[in-house]
Structure 1
Amino acid sequence: MEELKFDSRGGVTTAELYTPRGVSSEDKLPAIMILPGGGCTYRVTSGIAQELARRGFVVLNVNINGAGNSENPPIDDMGLEPGVFYSTRGAKDALEYLRTLKYVDQTRIGLAGHSMGGLRTGGAASADASYYTLNDLLINKLTDEFGVELDFNEISQDADSLAEKYLSEDQMVFYENLKVEEEEYFNERVKAWFALGSNPSVTAKTVTIGGYEVIREPQINIGFTIGLYDETNRTKTFSFPEGVETTYEGVTLCLAPVFQTGNEPVDPNMWYEVTPGYNTDEMPQSKVVGCADDLSVTDSELKQAIDNRSARVLFLTSESHSRNFFSIASAENTVHFFVDALEYNGGELASAESNPIPYTNTIFMLRIICNFIAMLLMFAMLLILAVGLTYETKFAGCMLTASEPINSKKNVGFWIVSAITIVVGVWAVKYIGGSDLGFENKLISASKFLPFGGAPLTSASWIIWVNGAGLFTLIIYSCINKKMSLKEQITYLGINIKFSKIMKSLLLSFIMIVCGYASLLIIKTAFNQHYRLWMSAFDVMSMARLCAWFRYSLLALPLFFVNACLVNIGKMKDMREGTNIVLCTLINVAGVLIAAIINYGYMYATNLGPITTFFCTQWSLLLMIPVTTIISRLLFNRTHSVWLGAFTNAMLIAWLWVSVSDTSIYTGASVVARYLGF
């Protein structure tokens, strides 16, 4: 695997390219392009790319325009205004780049995408695929090039037979040359499209054949894997028919137009073949070919459907939206589809020299586990570094004299603040998430100054609500309870220290983050890996991302300063420190954890839609809230001031935010936009 950059209409697109060892320009290998969903980078789909690459596919895993270190070009490749949410955002350009690779078999190219990536690859597939069958194309050549007039019944007949009937001998020679051109064009269209957690953006439309209008499906093999507990099923992905309640009924009915099953639901795990209709208002028809688990593309009927680019299959999984790219089942389904649709698995399927790997054989989770362990070790390294550097004279001033905790288990105020923090945490999940993916109830909206929406701004909004409620309650209680005054708390937390000591804490935090970033560069250079677990990740930043990191650090600093105060005022003189850290961590994360349990417990118990869609972007809170809580307390125990923990967590979370997101608005393609991010 190598990381590469290529031009996309004046902007740089970044991608991962997976190729088999020893590949040369003499090879002709099937290729697949993958796009992540909105608000994500290609890192989330690396596992799927890895599994496809293990089976010998060339895989291009792409950051769309504005995602990761990809730039926003001045012109969108869909002909829309730059940065339009539903545009292909560079998918068409990436497809054309894939076609330039000499070792790619131009007749076996597939596209895949998760969520918005599915919509964008679907848009690219629709723009690229022929809506005409090969016979339709040849019929149009007869009418357009040779002036043959056909009646309506003849447009469904074999074009070669009609050519022999109506053309002269000299015309037949020209027709055969045109046929070769049309066959090459038809065969080099995208052959397969697979959508993970995405809706049917590739649908039938009206075309003209022989002068008559008919309805045609795109000539492309199509597959879906949909989670039954996908939060988006009732929002952006599918619009359920009236009276339909369960997600199973809704998804299988909403996909009926793609599978041409009329008013009947689609049967999961079954291969379908769609056949064209020839009346003006006649929709294409379909039939079941057989069970996906029992059939192979070596089966003549399935092979014919795939060769005709008319095969369809739906896989259903018991998972949520963001789980799709962190799922063995979804990876297996993706591999299963492309092995059949592109007829390849460690070699040509019909070849005795092939070395196929079963689609159930996956190893990408091992890499993910190693990435997570590396991330935890990076956190530990930062804490060890802080301890070591505070022994140095330059940073010794960051350490204050230890004071006895002023809180205790008997302090009613602590439990009141904790209870309100938890309740507001649960409420904020529902309030911000609402029932749609728009997250209209964010306190902060994306702008050119803060271009990354989704996870960063919904997370920040949640933290504002929770910390704000906790701080307000603490202040009110402190004004009432004279035994633990605000002045006493401020002194205990080491807030009112000299400005020079605050600046030393800031410098020490910056050095810690720089060392963490340096460790990432080392594992990136040595192993081409990064720090990640699911929705939490730390990646290499371009200059634009680095500038955005600074701005998001400014946003995060007051949030984590307040959080550090709340976490460390909870330190108790009559409770063991280890127990107290666990307690404060649980209180901090309880709101989002309880909301998750309620939301998904309800979905699993009822098979109905979610209470909130907040978790599409907020799973990272379940990891990062405990991590930042522990970092805040351990650094406070070392320095007896909240400043070092607040600075460190702000920079750390800002690094995470700019690593996992794409731009929610068009930031422009100027030099300022490219290097400063706005």
Structure 2
Amino acid sequence: MKYHSKVLILAVALILFGGFLANQIQSNGGSVDVSHVRFAGNDGIITHARLFVPDGVSNKNPAPGIVATHGYINSNETQSAFAIEFSRRGYVVLAPDQTGHGYSDPAAFANGFGGIDTLAYMKTLAFVDQDNIGLEGHSMGGWASLVAASVYPQDYQSIMILGSSPGTFGAPKGTADWPRNLAVVFSKYDEFSALMWGVAIPTDITKTDKLKTLFNTSEEVIPDTLYGNIADGTARILHQPAVTHPGDHFSHAAIKHAIEWFDQTLVGAQPLPSDDQVWLWKEIGTLLALIGMTILIVPALTRVAETSTFRSLKTSMPKLHSLTGGGWWVGALIFTLLPAITLFPFKGISEKLGWQASAVFAQNITTQVMVWALLTGLVSITLFLLWHFLLNRKTGASFESYGLTWNGQVPISSIVHSFLLALAVVGVLYTSLLLTNYLFDMDYRIWVFGIKLLSPLQMGIALSYLIPFSLFFIIVATVLHGQLRCDDWSFRKELVVNWLLLSVGYLLLLIVQYTPLLMGGTLLIASEPLWSIIALQFVPLMTIAAVVFTVAYRVTGRVYTGAFINAMIITWVIVASQATHYTF
């Protein structure tokens, strides 16, 4: 009990300190007012955004403004590093959720990716200098900026696109004199060079006719060199920081280039060296809070399970009939590699079948994850059952040995109780996020991985995916605890082993994918840039899953509570962070 109390105190301390630190950095110690705004655009679509207004800015003292737009399957928080540094320098910053993302209305891609509506809203703000508005966008946010610039050609002064390009996926084509004053940040290891610029090697974009046309030159474009003229709106510059596509969000160099570009092309900001950056401390703060929430799982689960409502679920763990010796290593290898090997081929099946977003499954990426999970689970449970019936049953193993039954039965009441226990634990975690959001205007995140509050619409969407993900995690728990668990492991050792079993496959996938790219080539499977980036998020998700599985099985001796908790958390995280493609 004392141990659990100390863990609880540590978790709460990390959440509170991390949230406070992140809030102070986001608001520049209180000198920048950060608020949430919602406004209607074309077709009545409501856009949600964060608005950063520095002290001293008013209708009588307007400041230059920047619209900072995130990319696909992100939300405004991924632009926070740029928004923090711009607002510290006196810019009013509008960081929107694109249509169909975050808390903006669906569907994704509507209204010029939301760019038209956000620039139109910026034009209504009397405390923004309407002669000094810049547009900054990452990836699809770059397309949003370009579309806005084409619709309102006289209402902005300069643009910076990061990991993006004109003339792609509906974005207008660029010319030598349009858009006005354009900076391009395209990193040396950007996964999307083929899509954006038509070349396999990211650094080769300097040789493309597309970039040469933009820069009004017949020669190879020289990075970090100013082309054209700012005064007449033809200025062009290319920067290539040594990061990946999502690395632009976490790059001192990329943010420095953005600061310098708008300092050159907009008037009215406060002088502050571009190397003077504090945004990383906000990321550290939200990371500490994320770690705190993960640690909170342990005391939340153990204490809720001890209440009179759920005490009956606390049973001893069944006698093991798991793999041993060399067989254990074979089982471990299959367990950890199978999900990673099947990720790319299985996730694309829904696309090949022509599945479209619907009111039932409204998010295309989440649906693809669901299809992969169900098919991988089907393969896993088939292999597991073959092992059980052909080999392990002879040793006396039964479904009881795998934590699937109670005295040979599967009582509905026990399943319902397990689900309610999981719901109560996730309720504690969700409440901690509600309080963190209320007190500090923060969520739990690091880089492109975040745990956000669900909107009412997203809560409804999440219910559709919860059952498939629950089935998947029941299968994962059955194999993990039934085949690969050892009785003599300490809690710490079991936690580490479970994390390795759940995560190593994705880590190896990322290593084999990114090593050729980071050596100056392309991704090993160059056709999967988006899902290589998505795979990055599987590592923190599986870290959380490892904690849940380890604690829940030790507390209940059955697979269901841990499976339900993980299904709820993973469904929550994925749905809140994904784009919604169906128009409700």
Query: Shorter-chain TM-score category?
Result: 0.7 to 0.9
1:572 aligns with 2:496: no
Where do 4+ consecutive residues of structure 1 move more than 4 Å? 202-205, 438-445, 483-487, 574-577
> Which residue, 99, 115, 119 being the options, matches 1:65?
99
Do residues 333 (structure 1) and 257 (structure 2) align?
yes
Q: Is the 8 A contact 2:358 2:582 kept in 1?
A: no
Tell me whether 1:21 sits opposite 2:55 in the alignment.
yes
Matched, 1:620 2:537: yes
- Of 511, 525, 539, 2:438 maps to 525
Counterpart in the other structure of 2:65: 31
Q: What is the DSSP-based 3-state SS (H/G/I as helix, E as strand, rest coil) of the residue aligned with 1:607?
A: coil
Correspondence 1:197 to 2:163: yes
Paired residue for 2:582?
666
Which residues in structure 2 correspond to 1:21-100 (within 5 Å)?
21-72=55-106, 83=107, 85=109, 88-100=112-124
Structure 1 576/512 Cα, relative in aligned 2: closer, same or farther at 3 Å? Answer: closer
RMSD: 2.5
> Shift of the alpha carbon at 1:583?
2.3
User: Residues 445 and 457 of structure 1 are in contact (CA less than 8 Å); yes or no, is this contact kept in structure 2?
Assistant: no
Residue 472 (1) aligns with residue 382 (2): yes
Secondary structure at the aligned position of 1:227 is classed as coil
CA offsets per residue over residues 58-84 of structure 1, 9 Å max, x none? 000011222111113xxxxxxxxxx57
User: What's the CA shift string for 1:442-493, capped at 9, x where partnerless?
Assistant: 9976433222223x34443443454433322222122221456796244441
Distance change in 2, residues 1:473/1:44 (3 Å) = same
- Whether 1:261 and 2:217 are equivalent positions in the alignment is yes
Q: What residue is the counterpart of 1:160 in the other structure?
A: none
Are the counterparts in 2 of residues 229 and 609 from structure 1 also a CA contact under 8 Å? no
Residue pair 1:409, 1:575 contacting (<8 A) in 2 also = no
Residue pair 2:404, 2:559 contacting (<8 A) in 1 also: yes
The residue type equivalent to 1:328 in the other structure is: H
Q: What letter matches 2:478 in structure 1?
A: C
Greater CA deviation, 36-45 or 573-582? 573-582
- Trace 1:155-194 onto structure 2 (pairs within 5 A): 188-194=154-160
Structure 2-normalised TM-score?
A: 0.86
Following superposition, the deviation at residue 525 of structure 1 comes to: 1.6
Pairing partner for 2:345 from 406, 417, 431: 431
Q: Which residue of 2 aligns with 1:539?
A: 452
Match of 2:560 among 643, 665, 678: 643
Separation in 2, partners of 1:445, 1:216: 39
Residue in 2 that maps onto 1:375? 290
Render the CA deviation track for 1:345-365: whole Å, top value 9, x for unaligned: 41xxxxxxxxx2211222111
Mapped partners of 1:123, 1:485: distance in 2: 66
Q: Which residue of 2 aligns with 1:561?
A: 474
Larger radius of gyration: 1
Q: Which moved more, 1:332-341 or 1:111-120?
A: 332-341
Distance 1:377 1:505 in 2: 24
1:592 and 1:363 map into 2 onto residues whose CA distance is: 31
Partner of 2:186 in structure 1? Answer: 226
Give the deviation of 1:18 after TM superposition: 0.2
Aligned to 2:299: 384
Question: 2:364 is matched with which residue?
Answer: 453
2:364 is paired with a residue of what secondary structure? coil
CA distance in 2, matches of 1:223, 1:18: 23
> Match for 1:561: what amino acid?
I
Pair 507,200 (structure 1): closer, same or farther in 2 beyond 3 Å: same
Aligned counterparts of 2:179 and 2:144: Cα–Cα separation in 1:
18
Partner of 1:400: 315
Aligned to 2:20: none
Cα distance change on mapping 1:228 and 1:513 into 2, 3 Å: same
- Cα shift at 1:638: 0.7
Q: Is the 8 A contact 2:100 2:108 kept in 1?
A: no
The verdict on how the C-alpha distance between 1:484 and 1:571 changes in structure 2, with shifts beyond 3 A counting, is: farther
Residue aligned with 2:227, SS: strand
Aligned partners of 2:224 and 2:237 also within 8 Å: yes
State the 1:646 CA deviation: 0.9
Instruction: Identify the residue that residue 569 of structure 2 maps to in structure 1.
Output: 652
Q: Deviations over 1:190-218 (max 9, x none)?
A: 1111111101247678xxxxxxxxx8722
The answer to which of 635-644 and 5-14 deviates more is 5-14
Amino acid at match of 2:345: Y
Label 1:486 to 1:589 Cα distance change in 2 as closer, same or farther (>3 A): farther
**Distance change (3 Å), C-alpha of 1:532 and 1:622:** same
Q: Is the 8 A contact 1:33 1:61 kept in 2?
A: yes
Native 8 Å contact 1:86 1:119 kept in 2: no
Q: Which residue of 1 aligns with 2:334?
A: 420
Q: Could you tell me how far 1:15 is from its partner in structure 2?
A: 0.3
Separation in 2 of the partners of 1:358 and 1:442?
53
Name the structure 2 match of 1:249.
204
Distance 1:360 1:463 in 2: 44
Contact 1:421–1:587 (8 Å) recurs in 2: yes
Contact 2:222/2:238 (<8 A) preserved: yes
Shift of 1:637: 0.6
Aligned residue type for 1:583:
V
Rounded to whole Å, the distance in 2 between the matches of 1:39 and 1:516 is: 23
Whether the 8 Å CA contact 1:420–1:469 is kept in 2: the answer is no
1:439 offset after TM fit, Å?
A: 8.9
Amino acid at match of 1:375: L
Tell me the distance in 2 between the aligned counterparts of 1:217 and 1:269.
Answer: 19
Match for residue 197 of structure 2 among 238, 242, 245: 238
Residues 444, 452 of structure 2: 8 Å contact kept: yes
Whole-angstrom CA distance in 1 between matches of 2:384 and 2:37: 51
- How do residues 256-295 of structure 1 correspond to structure 2 at under 5 angstroms? 256-262=212-218, 264-273=219-228
Distance in 1 between residues matched to 2:488 and 2:438, nearest whole Å: 48
Give the Cα–Cα distance (whole angstroms) in 2 for the partners of residues 401 and 531 of structure 1. Answer: 34
SS at match of 2:36: strand
Percent identity between the two aligned chains: 23
Task: Answer yes or no: is the 8 Å Cα contact 2:67–2:136 preserved in 1.
Answer: yes
Aligned equivalents of 2:324, 2:165: Cα separation in 1: 52
Q: Deviations over 1:515-553 (max 9, x none)?
A: 222211211121111111223222122211111122222
Offset from partner CA, 1:131-159 (integer Å, 9 cap, x none): xxxxxxxxxxxxxxxxxxxxxxxxxxxxx
Aligned counterparts of 1:448 and 1:524: Cα–Cα separation in 2: 29
d(CA) in 1 for partners of 2:179, 2:165: 18
- Alignment partner for residue 511 of structure 1, among 424, 427, 432? 424
The question of whether the paired residues in 2 share the 8 Å contact of 1:68 and 1:662 is answered with yes
Relative to 1, partners in 2 of residues 1:597 and 1:95: Cα closer, same or farther, differing over 3 Å?
same
Judged with a 3 Å threshold, the aligned counterparts in structure 2 of structure 1 residues 661 and 95 are, in CA distance, closer, same or farther, namely same
Contact 2:113 2:143 in 1 (8 A): no
Pair 1:12-2:12 in alignment: no
Q: Comparing both structures, which one devotes a greater share of its residues to helix?
A: 2
Structure 1 Cα separation of the partners of residues 173 and 470 of structure 2: 51
Can you give the 5+ residue segments of structure 1 that lack an aligned partner in the other structure? 73-82, 130-187, 206-214, 274-304, 347-355, 668-672, 674-678
TM-score, reference length from structure 1: 0.75
SS of equivalent residue, structure 1 residue 552: helix
Partner of 1:209: none
Secondary structure (helix, strand or coil) at the match of 1:260 reads coil
Q: Distance in 2 between matches of 1:598 and 1:31?
A: 42
What letter corresponds to residue 192 of structure 1 in structure 2? Answer: S
Q: Distance in 2 between matches of 1:482 and 1:339?
A: 69
The residue identity in structure 1 corresponding to 2:579 is D
Q: Which residue of 493, 497, 502 maps to 2:403? A: 493
- What is the distance in 2 between the residues matched to 1:104 and 1:638? 57
How big is the shift at 1:251?
Answer: 4.8
* Contact 1:63/1:70 (<8 A) preserved: yes
